[in-house]
Structure 1
């Protein structure tokens, strides 16, 4: 982590101690998750934990520490930290280390928001939908897309969701919208979805598509997350605005 520390020292030196925005998006485990296919956690070597979470969670924490030190020095304090997470933090998706890491990011963001609130530094956990990154597209083109399904969504539906997913630029548009919102601090400590932000801020994907939120019933019907006779016909007529409330999604997954 010496390189990370050196990077923030360079930022502090070159920008007179100022830092306004941190987006934690680095991740290194897509290939590992895909290649492990349907193996259970006990069929894999325990080192897979480090592959999944050293960059995707541990490094995020380090970056948040160094960024917060810079942001809280300013008078008046300000700044925004956006941690890219996933709906995998809500319930089982892909494998055990993945879900644990994503839920940890969500909790980390919420707890950091508590300690940074007196400084008016905003911390948000952002959930993109399935994203067609360069790597995902490459894996799909070679027919090696082998993500383990969730307990509720079939493997076929999972692949369909990814192959019709949002662009990498869509998350960028969501971040721009948040960072230019003068009242963004009202979201601190919360989980936000890119699809919901596209609707509320009025932006679409780079190809003109309106990305549906995973909370949308239309999304569930279109992507066969919920499937029954006539579901596709119903999906055609279903408006995007009919959604499952976030609190209900969370309550449905609670272990209490």
Structure 2
């Protein structure tokens, strides 16, 4: 343990982004922490038939719930966004014009976060995993893609 403490003293002091963000959110007593996870549609199925992917995605939603409970007393809201199938460059390259109906444009998550940041009542979403398409309907934003959101 002493060797570890000695090692830490020798390392240059450099604030990590997560510590800086956490301190800033807590000092300001306001803010928004956003995670991306998966809104469970059917708890009886394993997501993508892949146990570890399912575990990772549902754990993020659980983390968002825990963060919301922990940060609420500091005036910080934590919410988890659940994007639909997103038309990234990789997905578009792989599927071409065969994208599933309702594929979300890549801008959707960013627009959802902007809408949440402007909402004075954003705390009503605290601890929830909210599909981005639901936020698009609620806040009235859309992507550049004419297809309806998933």
CA contact (8 A) 1:170 1:206 kept: no
Asked if structure 1 preserves the Cα contact closer than 8 Å seen for 2:77 and 2:123, the reply is yes
Please, what TM-score do these two structures have when normalized by structure 1? 0.47
Which of residues 79, 100, 120 is equivalent to 1:124?
79
Query: Which residue does the alignment assign to 1:101?
Result: 56
CA 1:7–1:102 in structure 2 vs 1: closer, same or farther (change >3 Å)?
Answer: same
Q: Which moved more, 1:163-172 or 1:196-205?
A: 163-172
Instruction: Return the TM-score normalized by structure 2.
Output: 0.77
Which fold has the larger relative contact order, with Cα–Cα distance below 8 Å and residues 6 or more apart in sequence? 2
Q: What does residue range 9-88 of structure 1 map to in structure 2 within 5 Å?
A: 63=18, 67-74=21-28, 77-87=29-39
The size of the alignment, in residue pairs, is 133
Q: CA RMSD in A?
A: 2.4
Q: Does 1:172 align with 2:110?
A: yes
Q: Deviations over 1:181-202 (max 9, x none)?
A: 1110121111111111111111
| Residue in 2 that maps onto 1:189 | 127
Structure 2: which 5+ residue stretches go unaligned?
1-13
1:31-73 residue CA offsets vs partner (Å, 9 max, x unmatched): xxxxxxxxxxxxxxxxxxxxxxxxxxxxxxxx4x653232102
Distance (whole Å) between structure 1 residues aligned to residue 37 and residue 20 of structure 2: 20
How much does 1:134 deviate?
Answer: 1.1
Q: Which runs of 5+ in 1 are unaligned?
A: 9-62, 142-158, 213-256
Tell me the secondary structure at the aligned position of residue 185 of structure 1: helix
